[in-house]
Structure 1
């Protein structure tokens, strides 16, 4: 006789279709709390930061509130006394050189008007460019009697100035060859030295003076015409700035007077 084992019946649990709402509501609550925290942190408000910090301290054992941190960067000027001092010195030096240039223009006004003298100013200093015809006879390096008056007037302005002075002689490209001046190098150098000698005699300190001969290497006009060659025959007296531009401050071969 066969017995069939009775099948045990279990009540199947009925699935609740609304159960997902519990997880969803928890997620929404956490998300809301996250945005509240992010908003509180992003807004730089000392009072709100303090309250939030105290709440976190209480929640994690009352360790105390954290110190508020400011996220604002203050644009404070960086003090640089050295730069300010150099800027002020440059301003005063420029004013001094400008006044010196104006005094030279006033002193040499007749020659400037005739176009025989040019006064210019740049970062290197103040330059007085004098046509050689005002100072020398053709092919000569001895100053004429008429030229000494103008040069002594310049020396009066330079005597108590204190700046270094560089005198440069220039010629045209026409060759010269005699017993005194084998080339334009000698002629330009001796002409510059002649002006330096006059300045020394007029009371300018020799240590401040330098004589340089350039021959025909730095023309200001074309040597193809007589007018251009006349412009190139010149002597330039440059009062060197005490604070020159570092770009233009280049070493120059020089001949010191003996």
Structure 2
């Protein structure tokens, strides 16, 4: 006699809802607990917010730039500003005004040489650049200052002597090789020419630690060396009077000299 087949049990397809509901409940409880134990320190949030806004605006945040002791307000003392704080807008404007006045004085003193094309005076955010042709300063292949150039450089020294701006003196040559006993290459010649100017400035009252002498040889040309005129333009000494002083002369950045034909 054949056995009756048991009715097959129907499998439930909704059992996953139980696990899902448990997971959602636990997740909700977790966020409720986290919210209950969290707290916002309004003071720290405001300091952080001010610092971020000031960083993007290149300003000093009012909440951290001024350090004031409790008894300073009662004594009427002025708050101390952190030494590392960047200059404020009035200080930047005063600095720019000073540099414009200095550049104008230099142009006025070197007017005849500027008209002859032997001196160029330009101003940028970096400072003032006074480019002087080597024909005004030196004999060919020499680093001793000519007598006429000494008077001109003394005039420049008088105009910048009473300021604290750092001065970077750069010597440049053309690409014609020099092989003398005194100057085996253009490196020595360009460095010696920059040093001659620095030494004269020091002898005329400029603090030596404000200055640095750099020789670039022929490797920072402003014109092509294929022509006589181009080589004459490349033989030069540039005085960079920097607007933004650094703590050490050794960290002065090199000048952004344009290269011929985009080189």
> Scaled by the length of structure 1, what TM-score is found?
0.63
Q: Indicate yes or no: 2:155 matched with 1:145.
A: no
Change (3 A) 1:140 1:206: same
Q: What SS does the corresponding residue of 1:148 show, helix, strand or coil? A: helix
User: In the alignment, which residue of structure 1 is the partner of 2:96?
Assistant: 94
Aligned length: 173
* Distance in 1 between residues matched to 2:103 and 2:182, nearest whole Å: 35
Pick from 158, 164, 167: which aligns with 2:166?
Answer: 164
User: In the alignment, which residue of structure 1 is the partner of 2:131?
Assistant: 129
The answer as to whether partners of 2:166 and 2:245 remain within 8 angstroms in 1 is no
Deviation (angstroms), 1:84 = 9.1
Alignment of 1:208-247 (within 5 A): 208-242=210-244
Which stretches in structure 2 are left out of the alignment for 5+ residues?
Answer: 1-52, 55-59, 66-84, 256-263
Q: What SS does the corresponding residue of 2:88 show, helix, strand or coil? A: helix
**1:82-133, Cα deviation, whole Å (9 max, x unpaired):** 5895222221111111111001000101100111000011111101000000
Q: What SS does the corresponding residue of 2:92 show, helix, strand or coil? A: helix
Deviation (angstroms), 1:251 = 3.7
Deviation (angstroms), 1:234 = 0.2
User: In the alignment, which residue of structure 2 is the partner of 1:190?
Assistant: 192
Q: What SS does the corresponding residue of 1:198 show, helix, strand or coil? A: helix
* Distance in 2 between residues matched to 1:105 and 1:197, nearest whole Å: 23
Deviation (angstroms), 1:242 = 2.5
The answer as to whether partners of 1:93 and 1:243 remain within 8 angstroms in 2 is no
Deviation (angstroms), 1:197 = 0.6
Deviation (angstroms), 1:250 = 6.1
Deviation (angstroms), 1:252 = 4.6
Larger-gyration structure (1/2) = 1
* Distance in 2 between residues matched to 1:85 and 1:92, nearest whole Å: 10
* Distance in 2 between residues matched to 1:176 and 1:84, nearest whole Å: 46
Pick from 101, 110, 117: which aligns with 1:108?
Answer: 110
Deviation (angstroms), 1:161 = 1.1
Alignment of 1:50-61 (within 5 A): none
> Scaled by the length of structure 2, what TM-score is found?
0.62
* Distance in 2 between residues matched to 1:243 and 1:160, nearest whole Å: 15
**1:203-243, Cα deviation, whole Å (9 max, x unpaired):** 11111111000001111111010000000000000111126
The answer as to whether partners of 1:90 and 1:243 remain within 8 angstroms in 2 is no
Pick from 175, 180, 198: which aligns with 2:177?
Answer: 175
Change (3 A) 1:226 1:93: same
Please provide the CA RMSD for this pair: 2.3
Q: What SS does the corresponding residue of 2:93 show, helix, strand or coil? A: helix
